[in-house]
Structures are given as C-alpha cells and as structure tokens.
Amino acid sequence: MTTTTTTLTRHLLIFLIISVFSQAGNARRSFACDPSNAAVKGFAFCNVKLPIGDRVKDLLSRLTLKEKLGLLVDNATAVPRLEMDEYEWWSEALHGVSNVGPGTRFGGEFPGATAFPQVITTAASFNTSLWEEIGRVVSDEARAMYNGGYGGLTYWSPNINIFRDPRWGRGQETPGEDPIVAGEYAARYVRGLQGNLPGDRLKVAACCKHYTAYDLDNWSGTDRFHFNAKVSKQEMVDTFEVPFRQCVMQGKVASVMCSYNQVNGIPTCADPRLLRDTIRGAWRLNGYIVSDCDSVGVFYDKQHYTTTPEEAAADAIKAGLDLDCGPFLAIHTQGAVDRGLLRESDIDSALVNTLTVQMRLGMFDGDSSAQIFGNLGPKDVCTPANQELALQAARQGIVLLKNHGPSLPLSPRRHRTVAVIGPNSDVTVTMIGNYAGIACGYTTPLQGIARYTKTIHQPGCSNVKCRNAHLFGDAIGAARQADATVLVMGLDQSIEAEFIDRNGLLLPGYQQELVSKVAKASKGPVILVLMSGGPIDVSFAEHDPRVSAIVWVGYPGQAGGTAIADVLFGTHNPGGKLPMTWYKQDYLSKVPMTTMDMRSNQARGYPGRTYRFYKGPVVYSFGHGLSYSNFIHTLVSAPTIFQVPVDGRHKNTTAATETVRVTHAKCGGLSIILQVDVKNAGSKDGSHTMLVYSTPPVGHWGPHKQLVAFSKVHVSAGTQLRVPIKIHVCKFLSVVDRSGIRRIPMGQHNLHIGDVKHVLSIQSTPLGVIKS
Ligand SMILES: *[C@@H]1O[C@H](CO)[C@@H](O)[C@H](O)[C@H]1NC(C)=O
Ligand SMILES: *[C@@H]1O[C@H](CO)[C@@H](O)[C@H](O)[C@H]1NC(C)=O
Ligand SMILES: *[C@@H]1O[C@H](CO)[C@@H](O)[C@H](O)[C@H]1NC(C)=O
Ligand SMILES: *[C@@H]1O[C@H](CO)[C@@H](O)[C@H](O)[C@H]1NC(C)=O
C-alpha cells in the first residue's frame, strides 16, 4: 500500500516536472527586449514608456549597415548583439489562419484553425459586421498561435483585387467585382484582424494586396510575371485603386503589397508614383510596403526591367518598397550602396516603416505573455463559438439562383431518401479553397444532408474534371429510386487556382451531361448545388425545367455541408447575393483577359466588364439571389434636390461645365439619407440585402449603373422594418473623367432599390449662398 502510494506520488511528480518543462519548451521566448535579460536595460528602444518613433530611431542608430540589410527581407536575420530574434514576416490569413506562408505552421497544440468560407462566399453575405467579426476571430487564433510559437504577427491578407475577368483562378480569394464592395470588405476585415485598438497598437498586422491592376495568373501565353497591364488613368482611379484606397484610409491597414506585373510599362514594386506618391503620400499609409514573393527578382530576371540586380534593388527601395518577400534585397542592396545607387538613409527610411509596425505589435515590449493578447492559447483556437461563426458565414454566403415551383426547401417528411450525386458531394478540402490552413474538422455536403434524411450516395464522376461517363449508370439509378436528388457539382483547385486561369466558363468534362441525364431520370425534384469560386455558365440548367433549383455555395469552408443542408431543408432561409456577374461562355471570345478596360467600346466590338459597364446577356447578374420569402421595398422619404456647395474660387468654371470636381466641392459629411421600408411578405423569417444603385446623368464617362450603398437586415415573417440608407455624395455619386479626375455630374441621378425608383437632382451652389 505504502509502496504503491509512493510510486504513484513519484510518477505524479515526474509527470508534473515533465509537463512544466515541456510547457517551458513550448512557450515562445520574447522576440526582443526580454526583461529577464540584463543587457536590454540599457536599450532605449526597449523602453515602452518612450514614443514608438523615438524607440525606432534609437534602434536604427544601433544597427550596422550589414544588420540593416538582413532586415530588408521576410526571413529577417537575428541581431544577437541587440537580443533581437530572427523573424519571418510571411504569414497568411485570408479566411482563417493559413500555413501557406513559412511564418505559420500547424502541429503540437495547434493541429488546426477555424477554416472560414473562401472570401468570395463571405462577400456574398453582404454582411459588413460578419466580415469584421471573422477578422476578429481569425486574429484571436493567430495571436494564440504566435504565443505558442506557431504563427507570425504579420499576415499578408486580404486579397482585394477586383474580380475583373471571370476566368481568373484567384477570383475566389477576392470580394468580387464591385470596387465599393471590395473596399468595404477590405476596411472591415482589416479592422477585425488588426483589432481597432487605441493608440496605434496592432493585434496583428494585415496587408492589402496585390497593388495593382493585378488579376491574371496565366492566360494564353501571358503569365503574371511578364504581364504589363495597360490601364488608363480613368480606369485606375475609377476601379483598380478604389479598394486599396479604402483599405488604407478607412481600414488603416498596416501594410500594402505591390504585385508582380507591370502597370503601363513599370513594375509596380519599382514605381514611385504608385508606392511613394499614392500609397504613402496621398493615402498616408501608416505601415510598410512589401513586395510579392520575389517581385524584385522577377522584374530583374524575368522582365529585364533593369540591367543589373543592384539597380533593381535601388529602384525598388527608392520607389518606396520597405520589405522584400524573398532574399533579393539582402543579397543585392550592399552592392547598390557601394555603386552609389542608394544611400544608407534610403534603407533607414524603409526600416523605420517595418520596425514601427513591429513595435506597434508589441514585439519590442518584452514578455509577450504579459501583454494584452498574451493569455490567448490553444484553448482559443477552434472553439465552439469560432466554429459556429464559420457555419453562420457559410449559411449567409449561400446564394439561391433558381427555385422553380418552388421546389426548395426540401422536407424530411416528403423526401425520405435523397440521392446525393456529384464529384463535390462528399468533399472536405475542396470546401476551403486556396490560401487555407488545416481546418478544425469538416462536415461534407453528404454528411450534412444525412442529418436530415436517408441518403444514397453516388459520385457520378471520379473528380471535377469528369473525363468520362463510367459512373453515370449508378448515379442515374440512385436518382430513379430517391424522393429527391441533390447534385453537388462545380470546380476545385485543379480547375481554378493560383497559376491556373480557366479557359472556359462551362462545367468541366462531362459534368453537364451527368446533370442532364440524372435530371431526366430523377423521380423527385432535382437540386443542382454548385461549388466554385468563379462563375459557371449553367444556362442549360437554368433552362431545363427538370432542374428544379440551383444553389451556389462558393467554397463554403469547414462547415459547408451543414450550411448547404440547412438551406436545402429550410432551417436557414438563404439571403446571399452574387458578388460577381455570371457571364455566358461566348462572352469570353470578345474579351482578351489581358485587356484591362472596364468600359465597353462599340467600335472595337468590346463589350465591357462587370455589371457596371457590360450590358449584354448574362446567366445571372451581379446582386442576384433569391429567398424563401418575398421582400417588398417602399421608399418612405428621400430628397429630390441636393445642393453641392462649391468653393467660391471655382464657381465660374463649374457654372460653365456640368460637373463639379470633387476636390472643389465641400464634401465633408455631404450625404443624403433615404428611408426605405422593407417588408417580409413571406412566411419565413429571413435576412435581406438592399442593394442601392445609381445611374448617373448620361454623357459623363460613368458606369450605366453603380452600387452606391448596401444594407443587410433581418426581417421576421409578416413584419416590416424601416432602414436608413446613407449615401456619401462626393464618394459614391461621383464619376471619373478621362484624365482620372473625380467629378460630380450635375443633373438627374436615378436611384434604384429593387423595383423602387427615385430621381435625385444634384445642383451646385457657390459657397456662401447656402445658409448654414
Ligand atoms: C532564413 O534565414 C536563416 C538564416 O538567418 C536560414 O538558416 C534559413 O534557411 C532561412 N530560411 C529560408 C526559408 O530561407
Ligand atoms: C502557364 O501555362 C503554360 C501552359 O499552359 C505553362 O507551360 C507555363 O509553365 C505556365 N506558367 C506559369 C507561370 O504558371
Ligand atoms: C467667367 O466665365 C466667363 C464666360 O465663360 C469668362 O468670360 C470670364 O472671364 C470668367 N471669369 C473668371 C473670373 O474666370
Ligand atoms: C450578420 O452576421 C452576424 C454574425 O453572423 C449575425 O449575427 C447577423 O444576424 C447578420 N446580419 C443579418 C442582417 O443577417
């Protein structure tokens, strides 16, 4: 008895000692300024009481040129002399902590992280508070992983390039084709990630990428490393810059990444007008500018933009680049200094920007466990609440495209067996798309549906490429027996991805044939579920009366199967709207992917891009999305005339023309407010997105239609809600002229919200005439 107790005690003691040691082994030591180290006492840069600017200056003054060069790259070298560790800047968190960058890995106490839907799906929710909330949860998990030694603090997300061309393999990563939606997404997601903390502090540092006019991977002999995007001043200001500007100015992002491509013959990472003048100058970036991974090397070796690598290094740093993803600047910058192409002070300017961000993150504040997010750990990753948010996001992003009959929702009572068919019907990693990590777990579509009813599963094709019809017989057999058929079809990363743009918009291989044959044989209603990032031309199914309903789920994340089933069986009323146009296949023959113009050009037979400029036939338009309810809008109040006060000095010119330059108008707080009643006339509660468009007066270079506001509201069945809509006049009712100048056209702006139309007349008034 005594012996046993002693042994037990001894074991327990050994166990305790081991656990204490292994804990200590896992805990991350401070990046710098560890207070237990006597040496740091003399370092002013470690003194948290000093302003960050002074601390950065002190640190810089202590670094040798060689040490500085080691800090110009993502794999930043340690400075043991100053008790500074090495740091890997490259981490990713596009829609959950990802292991794409070397700064973050999974393992040990961090086997996975919450995998939210791919961004294009989350964008379809049009729910701005959801966007921010996802950012908050992702940064909780990121901070927890950093504390445990598994993650970084600098995340190169989000990707906010305009989804300009439907073939783009990375369109899935973006919030879609509308510049204002993309800008709002950027600002909200970044705010969620960075924590919106007082005093310039950062929870993690986000990064808006890829600046700019970058949305082509590899199309018909042109790849992104060699692409020279020819962009007019008008398109630049009107489209490509809009989300970046909002990310920096409203989102207060801590970083912007320049892209691989050239814009009008200059690599973006070597263009001082883009980096120094625009991002840092005009938009006042408080943060660092980083290259895409290995952009500087690419413009030297692939684009041959400079004749020597030293010139490439000098051009990039002088243009305003602060950090290189890749080793190029660590290798060639010394040579650039030696040849007199660069001064040490140019390098200092870059380092001020990166070191300041590290200080704002608390990396020079010593013991990180004592800091504001120091208590976050494994218990804060993949929590039930975080995983529930991933499920909510998936539900909110699902878009009901067609519901003939209506045949949806299905009912477990009437549909006792459901045939679940298709190459995406039982997938896991397909659901998280690219730039993902390792999910906490998955619910596949088949598993989700099986929670409601009995299933018969037949893949129909062995993968999404669906190269033959060998498995069709069993799939058709299943549809014959079942009370309803759900086909989960679409794409995956073998069809659309980084490096891979699509050649066409149709379903790959024999998928279309499988859908039609199964639909023909099916006993009950046939539901087509499309899993994809980019749009698919499913005109055949839209027109086939035997395909009763079509649902687009994007890449719905780890909980995708639950969300899909909840929508199909009506426990969630779908409210998503398409964030991009679904073109027909033949559209592609008229638009080379390399043509950046958004505006149509009739003389050239060029139809234009996105709902803003393209007026031809589509499969589904931007903003399309049905509900199980019916929402009715009524305009309660709206101004009919709006006076724009104009600076007196410019009154003569404005009277002579029909537009007012935004910079000449007194824009501060100039908004109009509409009051709209939204009635849920259906029998199911649901969320509804109000999309408010404006058509500017004709003849002013503008789009034929532009989203100027959106608002997502929940309305219970049979009730009505009054929703205020605020439209900032200078920002949203302006158009951009051919010289890239933003102007407010005077005259009639036609606002529309669903069926509701309203004419707003904008007039200019010289300042002083208006009584304040
Ligand atoms: C990062 O730099 C260290 C030396 O500072 C080197 O050992 C390591 O291989 C580098 N890692 C990468 C991914 O280049
Ligand atoms: C682009 O595609 C071509 C052929 O489809 C391939 O040979 C080439 O390696 C690709 N380039 C890149 C950068 O992916
Ligand atoms: C105002 O416009 C008129 C007619 O276009 C022109 O003759 C006059 O010189 C202008 N005055 C000023 C101050 O620009
Ligand atoms: C927006 O998302 C949040 C978080 O999931 C949710 O609580 C809220 O109800 C959503 N808003 C609407 C109108 O659906």
pLDDT at 592 over 70: yes
- Distance between CA atoms of 211 and 241, rounded to whole angstroms? 8
- Residue 263 above 80 pLDDT? yes
The pick from 388, 396, 398, 684 for probing ligand 4's pocket by mutation, whose C-beta has the most ligand atoms within 8 angstroms, reads 396
Over range 148-177, report the average pLDDT. Answer: 98
pLDDT in the model for residue 699: 75
7 has a pLDDT exceeding 60: no
Q: What is the mean pLDDT of residues 354-382?
A: 93
Question: 490, 533 in Cβ contact below 8 A?
Answer: no
Looking at residues 207-220, what average pLDDT do you find? 97
Q: What are the pLDDT digits (tens) for 164-204?
A: 999 999 999 999 999 999 999 999 999 999 999 999 999 99
In tens, the pLDDT along 19-36 reads: 433 333 345 668 999 988
Res 440 pLDDT > 80: yes
Q: Whose CA is nearest to atom 3 of ligand 4?
A: 130
For residues 189-199, one letter each, b for 16 or more C-beta atoms within 10 angstroms of the residue's C-beta and e for the rest, the string is bbbbbbbbeee
Distance 652 CA to ligand 3 centre (A): 6
Which of 595, 596, 549, 592 is closest to 574 using CA atoms?
Answer: 549
Please tell me the distance from the alpha carbon of residue 679 to that of residue 677, in angstroms, as a whole number: 6
CB-based contact 414:533 (threshold 8 Å): no
Residue 531: what are its φ and ψ, rounded to 5°?
-110, 115
Q: What is the pLDDT of residue 289?
A: 98
pLDDT at 270: 98
Q: Is 656 in the pocket of ligand 3 (CB under 6 A)?
A: yes
User: How far out from the chain centre does Cα 426 lie?
Assistant: 26
CA 529 to chain centre: 23
CA of 740 to the centre of ligand 3 (A): 25
Residue 653: pLDDT band with limits 50, 70, 90: very low
54 is catalytic: no
Distance CA 103, CA 99 (A): 8
**What confidence tier does 646 reach under pLDDT thresholds 50, 70, 90?**
confident
Q: In this predicted structure, what is the pLDDT of residue 764?
A: 85
- pLDDT one-digit tens code per residue, 722-747: 999 999 999 999 999 999 999 999 99
Average pLDDT over residues 124-131: 98
Among the listed residues 573, 593, 519, 488, the one whose alpha carbon sits nearest the alpha carbon of residue 168: 593
Q: What is the mean pLDDT of residues 613-618?
A: 97
List the beta strands (DSSP E) in 7-83: 75-76
Residue 651 has pLDDT above 60, yes or no: no
**Ligand 4 neighbours (beta carbon < 6 A):** 127, 129-130, 133, 392, 687, 712-714
Residue 73 has φ and ψ, to the nearest 5°, of -120, 160
The alpha carbon of 617 and the centre of ligand 1 are apart by a number of angstroms equal to: 53
Contact in structure between 122 and 134 (CB atoms under 8 Å): yes
User: In Å, how far from its chain's centre is CA 276?
Assistant: 24
Ligand nearest to the CA of 502: 2
Q: Is the pLDDT of residue 573 over 90?
A: yes
> Over pLDDT 70: what percentage of the chain?
94
Q: Which atom of ligand 2 is nearest to the CA of 218?
A: 1
Which range, of 281-295, 368-382, 589-603, averages the lowest pLDDT?
368-382
The residue whose CB lies within 8 Å of the most ligand 4 atoms, and thus the one to mutate among 114, 122, 127, is 127
Ligand 4 pocket: which of 130, 388, 573 to mutate (most atoms within 8 A of CB): 130
Across 78-101, average pLDDT: 97
Using CA atoms, how far residue 152 sits from 156, 357, 358, 534, 563, in Å, is: 11, 13, 11, 30, 31
> Is residue 652 scored above 70 in pLDDT?
no
Which band of pLDDT confidence, cut at 50, 70 and 90, is reported for residue 369? confident
Residue tagged active-site, from 217, 292, 365, 483? 292
Strand ranges inside 475-515, DSSP E: 484-490
When pLDDT is averaged across residues 93-102 and rounded to a whole number, the result is: 98
pLDDT in tens, 227-243: 999 999 999 999 999 99
Q: How far apart are CA 292 and CA 321, in angstroms?
A: 11
Inter-residue contact 193 to 206 (CB < 8 Å): yes
The number of beta carbons lying within 10 Å of the beta carbon of residue 517 is 18
Work out the mean pLDDT of the chain and round it to a whole number.
94
- Of the chain, the percentage scoring pLDDT greater than 90 comes to 89
The predicted structure's pLDDT at residue 655: 45
Domains and CATH numbers, the chain: 65-95+102-377 (3.20.20.300), 387-620 (3.40.50.1700), 631-766 (2.60.40.10)
Structure tokens at 132: 């921010």
Tell me the CA–centroid distance for residue 169 and ligand 2, in Å.
Answer: 13
Q: Express each pLDDT in 539-570 by its tens digit.
A: 999 999 999 999 999 999 999 999 999 999 99
In which order are the strands placed within the sheet that holds 208-211?
A: 208-211, 255-258, 288-291
Ligand 2 atom showing the smallest separation from residue 223 Cα: 13
- Residues found in the chain: 772
pLDDT at residue 34, rounded to an integer: 92
Strands in 671-680's sheet, in edge-to-edge order, are: 631-637, 671-680, 720-728
Could you tell me the distance, in angstroms and rounded to a whole number, from the CA of residue 396 to the centre of ligand 4?
A: 8
Tokens representing residue 658 in the block: 């029909």
Q: Which atom of ligand 1 is nearest to the CA of 88?
A: 1
Categorize the per-residue pLDDT at 4 as very low, low, confident or very high, splitting at 50, 70 and 90.
Answer: very low
- Give the mean pLDDT of 569-584: 98
In whole angstroms, what is the distance from residue 15 CA to residue 19 CA? 6
Pocket lining for ligand 2, CB < 6 angstroms: 218, 223, 499
pLDDT at 367: 82
Let me know: does 121 contact 555? Beta carbons within 8 Å. Answer: yes
CA atoms of 380 and 369, how far apart (whole Å):
15
Q: Which of 69, 75, 79, 331 to mutate to test the pocket of ligand 1 (most atoms within 8 A of CB)?
A: 75
Preceding peptide of 545 cis, ω within 30°? no
Atom of ligand 2 nearest to the CA of 499: 14
Give the residue whose CA is nearest to atom 8 of ligand 1.
75
pLDDT over 90 (residue 344)? yes
pLDDT on residue 770: 47
Whether the Cβ atoms of residue 573 and residue 680 lie closer than 8 Å to each other: no
